[in-house]
Amino acid sequence: MKSSANPFADIRQWFAMVLGFSLAACLGIATGQTGFVMTVEIIAVGLILLHRAGGYLRKLMDERRECYRDFCHAKEKGIKSLWDSAAAAQPSLFFKLTKFAYRNGTGNTEAVSAWLRYRRTELNGPLYVSRSSCSLLFNLGMIGTVFGLTITFAAISSGMSDTSDIVAVTESLQSALAGLATAFMTTLAGAFFGGVLVSRVNLITGRYLNEFLAILELWLRSTDFDNPNEEGK
């Protein structure tokens, strides 16, 4: 399972999202549909981040199934058979762990613990990026709030400058309401995706990862290394 992510790729994606959001805000101001355009942009970013978070959770589930398959193979046919099987082409974490444990001595618990800590750090990389993405959604929502309140205050000040013109006052009130709608919708969209959906998937993924690594260590302790083949040395 390839879990390490390129941090520069994540930075580029974040920059592209923020740039797209800014362009959408400018487009919304030019067309008079600021609230709608910015809300759609936040929803699009939220869906992208939700898809990435869900995809990583599916990868962890697939990896756990592969580890369980290899564990059952080792229990039924022996660790020698597992190391000589087709599983060596795309080794699972359990496969790699058994190889590492045998090379360093099956009783060397410190080495095994260090290996598991390293894997935990490696697997936590994409999860950390996904958790940081929640703050991105909140920030985009706050940017939309600032845009909306700016429109509202500008419209109110414009309407109060000349209260004798009923048409101008009515238009300023409409602009003020549109600004409030922009602030409300963008804040709601950012909070919903960042605070509810994406963060919930990240929480489930974190718990699943901790459980997976704990079970992986139990599977290692249940594995018989009495008759390994020479290839595992």
- Mean pLDDT by runs of 10 across the 233 residues of the chain is 53 66 66 73 84 92 94 89 86 90 75 88 85 82 84 78 71 81 87 87 93 91 66 43
- Burial annotation 52-73 (CB, 10 A radius, 16+ → b, else e): bbbebbebbeebbebbeebbeb
Predicted model pTM:
0.76
CB neighbour burial string for 149-187, b if at least 16 within 10 angstroms, e if fewer: eebbeebeeebeeeeeeeeebeebeebbebbbbbbebbb
φ and ψ of 165, to 5 deg:
-90, 105
- State the pLDDT at residue 231: 45
pLDDT (0 to 100) of residue 8: 54
Give me the pLDDT at residue 61, please: 94
For residue 64, the model assigns a pLDDT of 94
Q: In whole angstroms, what is the distance from residue 108 CA to residue 89 CA?
A: 27
The pLDDT assigned to 13 comes to 64
